[in-house]
Amino acid sequence: MSSALLQLNRVEADIGGSRILRGVTLEVNAGEVVCLMGRNGVGKTTTLRVIMGLRALRTGELTFNGQPIAGLATAERAHAGIGYVPQGRDIFPHLTVEENLRVGLLLRKRTRTAARDDLERVYALFPVLKAMLARKGGVLSGGQQQQLAIGRALLTQPKLLILDEPTEGIQPSIIEEIGETLKRLRLNGGLAILLVEQYVDFCRGVGDRFYAMDRGAITISGPVSTLTDDVVREHLQV
Protein backbone atom coordinates (compact mmCIF):
# COMPACT_ATOMS: atom_id res chain seq x y z
CA MET A 1 0.00 0.00 0.00
CA SER A 2 1.45 3.31 -1.03
CA SER A 3 1.08 6.53 0.91
CA ALA A 4 1.43 8.61 -2.25
CA LEU A 5 -1.09 11.37 -2.89
CA LEU A 6 -1.40 10.32 -6.54
CA GLN A 7 -0.46 6.88 -7.75
CA LEU A 8 -0.57 5.39 -11.23
CA ASN A 9 0.21 1.71 -11.42
CA ARG A 10 0.79 0.10 -14.84
CA VAL A 11 -1.76 2.34 -16.48
CA GLU A 12 -2.62 1.64 -20.11
CA ALA A 13 -4.79 3.68 -22.44
CA ASP A 14 -5.76 3.45 -26.11
CA ILE A 15 -6.67 6.13 -28.59
CA GLY A 16 -8.48 5.04 -31.74
CA GLY A 17 -7.27 1.46 -31.46
CA SER A 18 -3.62 2.36 -30.82
CA ARG A 19 -2.00 1.69 -27.47
CA ILE A 20 -0.81 5.12 -26.30
CA LEU A 21 0.04 4.43 -22.65
CA ARG A 22 1.88 1.14 -22.12
CA GLY A 23 2.09 0.63 -18.40
CA VAL A 24 2.71 4.01 -16.79
CA THR A 25 3.73 3.80 -13.15
CA LEU A 26 4.35 7.02 -11.28
CA GLU A 27 3.51 8.71 -8.02
CA VAL A 28 3.32 12.16 -6.54
CA ASN A 29 3.67 12.56 -2.78
CA ALA A 30 2.10 15.31 -0.72
CA GLY A 31 4.02 18.58 -1.03
CA GLU A 32 6.18 17.36 -3.90
CA VAL A 33 6.82 18.91 -7.33
CA VAL A 34 7.13 16.14 -9.92
CA CYS A 35 8.03 16.74 -13.57
CA LEU A 36 6.81 14.40 -16.28
CA MET A 37 9.09 14.90 -19.26
CA GLY A 38 9.44 13.52 -22.75
CA ARG A 39 9.58 14.32 -26.44
CA ASN A 40 6.53 15.38 -28.45
CA GLY A 41 3.84 12.74 -28.83
CA VAL A 42 5.10 10.25 -26.22
CA GLY A 43 1.90 10.36 -24.15
CA LYS A 44 2.40 13.08 -21.53
CA THR A 45 -0.91 14.86 -22.12
CA THR A 46 -2.70 11.53 -22.44
CA THR A 47 -1.38 10.59 -19.00
CA LEU A 48 -2.83 13.77 -17.52
CA ARG A 49 -6.14 13.29 -19.32
CA VAL A 50 -6.39 9.76 -17.93
CA ILE A 51 -5.75 11.13 -14.43
CA MET A 52 -8.57 13.65 -14.94
CA GLY A 53 -10.96 11.12 -16.48
CA LEU A 54 -10.97 12.87 -19.84
CA ARG A 55 -9.58 9.76 -21.48
CA ALA A 56 -10.47 6.19 -20.53
CA LEU A 57 -8.01 4.02 -18.65
CA ARG A 58 -7.85 0.54 -20.22
CA THR A 59 -6.08 -1.29 -17.41
CA GLY A 60 -4.03 -0.40 -14.38
CA GLU A 61 -4.68 1.39 -11.09
CA LEU A 62 -5.22 5.03 -10.42
CA THR A 63 -5.53 6.24 -6.84
CA PHE A 64 -5.73 9.67 -5.25
CA ASN A 65 -5.46 10.11 -1.52
CA GLY A 66 -5.55 6.33 -1.15
CA GLN A 67 -8.88 5.98 -3.01
CA PRO A 68 -9.34 4.47 -6.47
CA ILE A 69 -10.59 7.25 -8.76
CA ALA A 70 -10.73 5.59 -12.18
CA GLY A 71 -14.49 5.20 -11.82
CA LEU A 72 -15.11 8.85 -10.91
CA ALA A 73 -16.33 11.56 -13.26
CA THR A 74 -13.95 14.43 -14.03
CA ALA A 75 -15.87 16.82 -11.76
CA GLU A 76 -15.64 14.35 -8.89
CA ARG A 77 -11.88 14.15 -9.33
CA ALA A 78 -11.75 17.93 -9.15
CA HIS A 79 -13.86 17.76 -6.01
CA ALA A 80 -11.46 15.21 -4.55
CA GLY A 81 -8.73 17.85 -4.90
CA ILE A 82 -7.09 17.64 -8.31
CA GLY A 83 -6.70 20.95 -10.14
CA TYR A 84 -5.88 20.77 -13.85
CA VAL A 85 -4.45 23.39 -16.18
CA PRO A 86 -4.54 21.84 -19.66
CA GLN A 87 -2.01 22.37 -22.42
CA GLY A 88 -2.91 25.60 -24.20
CA ARG A 89 -4.49 26.89 -20.96
CA ASP A 90 -8.19 26.84 -21.90
CA ILE A 91 -9.25 30.11 -20.37
CA PHE A 92 -12.55 31.65 -21.51
CA PRO A 93 -11.48 34.31 -24.05
CA HIS A 94 -14.79 36.22 -23.95
CA LEU A 95 -15.05 36.36 -20.17
CA THR A 96 -13.13 38.96 -18.22
CA VAL A 97 -10.17 38.03 -16.06
CA GLU A 98 -12.34 38.34 -12.96
CA GLU A 99 -15.11 36.19 -14.46
CA ASN A 100 -12.54 33.56 -15.45
CA LEU A 101 -11.26 33.49 -11.88
CA ARG A 102 -14.78 33.27 -10.44
CA VAL A 103 -15.34 30.10 -12.45
CA GLY A 104 -12.69 28.56 -10.18
CA LEU A 105 -14.76 29.54 -7.14
CA LEU A 106 -17.79 27.57 -8.32
CA LEU A 107 -16.45 24.15 -7.40
CA ARG A 108 -16.69 24.68 -3.65
CA LYS A 109 -19.08 26.52 -1.38
CA ARG A 110 -17.59 29.36 0.60
CA THR A 111 -18.72 32.59 2.19
CA ARG A 112 -18.41 35.84 0.29
CA THR A 113 -15.61 36.90 2.66
CA ALA A 114 -13.74 33.65 2.11
CA ALA A 115 -14.14 34.04 -1.65
CA ARG A 116 -12.72 37.56 -1.48
CA ASP A 117 -9.78 36.37 0.61
CA ASP A 118 -9.11 33.53 -1.82
CA LEU A 119 -9.18 35.95 -4.78
CA GLU A 120 -6.81 38.29 -2.93
CA ARG A 121 -4.38 35.41 -2.43
CA VAL A 122 -4.40 34.78 -6.18
CA TYR A 123 -3.82 38.50 -6.86
CA ALA A 124 -0.88 38.40 -4.45
CA LEU A 125 0.60 35.49 -6.38
CA PHE A 126 -0.10 37.09 -9.77
CA PRO A 127 -0.32 40.88 -9.35
CA VAL A 128 -0.70 41.33 -13.11
CA LEU A 129 -4.15 39.72 -12.91
CA LYS A 130 -5.39 42.30 -10.42
CA ALA A 131 -4.39 45.06 -12.80
CA MET A 132 -6.38 43.42 -15.60
CA LEU A 133 -9.57 42.25 -13.91
CA ALA A 134 -11.92 43.92 -16.39
CA ARG A 135 -10.03 42.81 -19.50
CA LYS A 136 -11.23 39.95 -21.63
CA GLY A 137 -9.18 36.79 -21.11
CA GLY A 138 -8.56 36.54 -24.84
CA VAL A 139 -6.56 39.78 -25.02
CA LEU A 140 -4.02 38.70 -22.40
CA SER A 141 -0.54 37.59 -23.42
CA GLY A 142 0.26 33.86 -23.33
CA GLY A 143 2.06 34.25 -20.01
CA GLN A 144 -0.79 36.21 -18.47
CA GLN A 145 -3.28 33.60 -19.66
CA GLN A 146 -1.13 30.91 -18.08
CA GLN A 147 -1.14 32.81 -14.79
CA LEU A 148 -4.90 33.24 -15.08
CA ALA A 149 -5.37 29.52 -15.68
CA ILE A 150 -3.17 28.64 -12.69
CA GLY A 151 -5.00 31.18 -10.53
CA ARG A 152 -8.36 29.77 -11.56
CA ALA A 153 -7.21 26.23 -10.76
CA LEU A 154 -5.92 27.32 -7.33
CA LEU A 155 -9.35 28.73 -6.48
CA THR A 156 -10.72 25.17 -6.66
CA GLN A 157 -8.54 24.50 -3.56
CA PRO A 158 -6.61 21.54 -4.94
CA LYS A 159 -4.30 19.25 -3.01
CA LEU A 160 -2.60 18.42 -6.29
CA LEU A 161 -2.15 20.89 -9.13
CA ILE A 162 -1.53 19.42 -12.58
CA LEU A 163 0.03 21.65 -15.23
CA ASP A 164 0.58 20.70 -18.87
CA GLU A 165 3.56 22.56 -20.35
CA PRO A 166 3.03 25.89 -18.57
CA THR A 167 6.13 27.40 -20.20
CA GLU A 168 5.13 26.57 -23.78
CA GLY A 169 5.23 29.69 -25.95
CA ILE A 170 5.83 32.05 -23.03
CA GLN A 171 8.49 34.75 -22.77
CA PRO A 172 11.45 34.02 -20.44
CA SER A 173 10.71 36.69 -17.83
CA ILE A 174 7.23 35.29 -17.23
CA ILE A 175 8.51 31.71 -17.21
CA GLU A 176 10.77 32.75 -14.36
CA GLU A 177 7.86 34.38 -12.51
CA ILE A 178 5.72 31.27 -12.89
CA GLY A 179 8.60 29.11 -11.63
CA GLU A 180 8.98 31.30 -8.55
CA THR A 181 5.23 31.11 -7.92
CA LEU A 182 5.21 27.32 -8.12
CA LYS A 183 8.09 27.13 -5.65
CA ARG A 184 6.21 29.45 -3.30
CA LEU A 185 3.02 27.40 -3.54
CA ARG A 186 4.91 24.27 -2.65
CA LEU A 187 6.74 25.89 0.26
CA ASN A 188 3.93 27.93 1.78
CA GLY A 189 0.88 25.90 0.88
CA GLY A 190 2.35 22.41 0.85
CA LEU A 191 0.70 21.97 -2.54
CA ALA A 192 1.76 18.96 -4.60
CA ILE A 193 2.39 19.68 -8.27
CA LEU A 194 2.58 17.38 -11.28
CA LEU A 195 4.14 19.27 -14.11
CA VAL A 196 4.40 18.12 -17.71
CA GLU A 197 7.35 20.02 -19.09
CA GLN A 198 9.90 19.81 -21.89
CA TYR A 199 11.96 22.78 -20.70
CA VAL A 200 14.71 20.95 -18.80
CA ASP A 201 16.11 23.90 -16.87
CA PHE A 202 12.64 24.78 -15.63
CA CYS A 203 12.26 21.25 -14.25
CA ARG A 204 15.67 21.43 -12.63
CA GLY A 205 14.66 24.72 -11.04
CA VAL A 206 11.26 23.84 -9.63
CA GLY A 207 11.10 20.04 -9.48
CA ASP A 208 11.89 17.60 -6.69
CA ARG A 209 11.71 14.50 -8.86
CA PHE A 210 11.29 13.72 -12.54
CA TYR A 211 9.99 10.95 -14.77
CA ALA A 212 11.03 10.65 -18.41
CA MET A 213 8.50 9.10 -20.75
CA ASP A 214 9.04 7.50 -24.14
CA ARG A 215 6.43 5.83 -26.35
CA GLY A 216 3.89 5.54 -23.59
CA ALA A 217 6.11 4.25 -20.78
CA ILE A 218 8.41 5.67 -18.13
CA THR A 219 12.03 5.04 -19.05
CA ILE A 220 13.86 6.65 -16.14
CA SER A 221 13.01 8.57 -12.97
CA GLY A 222 14.74 10.05 -9.94
CA PRO A 223 15.47 13.23 -8.03
CA VAL A 224 16.03 16.19 -10.35
CA SER A 225 19.65 16.24 -9.16
CA THR A 226 20.07 13.10 -11.30
CA LEU A 227 18.60 14.81 -14.38
CA THR A 228 22.05 15.17 -15.92
CA ASP A 229 22.89 16.28 -19.44
CA ASP A 230 23.59 12.62 -20.29
CA VAL A 231 20.10 11.62 -19.13
CA VAL A 232 18.63 14.46 -21.16
CA ARG A 233 20.56 13.39 -24.26
CA GLU A 234 19.59 9.77 -23.92
CA HIS A 235 15.94 10.08 -22.86
CA LEU A 236 14.62 13.48 -23.78
CA GLN A 237 16.30 14.92 -26.84
CA VAL A 238 15.02 14.44 -30.35
Ligand X SMILES: Nc1ncnc2c1ncn2[C@@H]1O[C@H](COP(=O)(O)OP(=O)(O)OP(=O)(O)O)[C@@H](O)[C@H]1O
Which residues make up the interface to ligand X (CB under 6 A)? 15-16, 20, 38, 40-46, 87
Q: Using the minimum distance from each CB to ligand X, give the nearer residue, 22 or 79.
A: 22
Instruction: Confirm or reject binding of residue 167 to Mg ion (CB under 5 A).
Output: no
Q: In this structure, are residues 179 and 206 in contact, taking their beta carbons and an 8 Å threshold?
A: yes
Nearest to 119 by CA among 155, 82, 157, 92: 155
Q: Using the minimum distance from each CB to Mg ion, give the nearer residue, 39 or 110.
A: 39
Instruction: Confirm or reject binding of residue 146 to Mg ion (CB under 5 A).
Output: no
Q: Hey, which residues does 221 pair with through a beta bridge?
A: 211
83 binds, among Mg ion, ligand X, none (CB under 5 to 8 A by kind): none
Q: What is d(CA 153, CA 106) in angstroms, rounded to the nearest whole number? A: 11
**Minimum distance, C-beta of residue 34 to ligand X, in the bound complex (Å):** 16
Q: Using the minimum distance from each CB to Mg ion, give the nearer residue, 118 or 197.
A: 197
Q: Furthest-apart CA pair in the chain: how many Å?
A: 52
**Minimum distance, C-beta of residue 216 to ligand X, in the bound complex (Å):** 7
Nearest to 172 by CA among 145, 202, 130: 202
Q: What is d(CA 25, CA 40) in angstroms, rounded to the nearest whole number? A: 19
**Minimum distance, C-beta of residue 110 to Mg ion, in the bound complex (Å):** 33
Q: Using the minimum distance from each CB to ligand X, give the nearer residue, 4 or 24.
A: 24
**Minimum distance, C-beta of residue 47 to ligand X, in the bound complex (Å):** 7
13 binds, among Mg ion, ligand X, none (CB under 5 to 8 A by kind): none
Q: Using the minimum distance from each CB to ligand X, give the nearer residue, 20 or 178.
A: 20
Instruction: Confirm or reject binding of residue 45 to Mg ion (CB under 5 A).
Output: yes
**End-to-end Cα distance, the chain:** 37
Q: Which stretch binds Mg ion (CB under 5 A): 36-44, 92-100, 178-186, 210-218?
A: 36-44
**Orientation angle between helical segments 172-189 and 142-154, nearest 10 degrees:** 10
Q: What is d(CA 162, CA 75) in angstroms, rounded to the nearest whole number? A: 15
CA quadruple 193, 160, 28, 189: dihedral sign? positive
Q: Which residues bind Mg ion (CB under 5 A)?
A: 44-45, 87
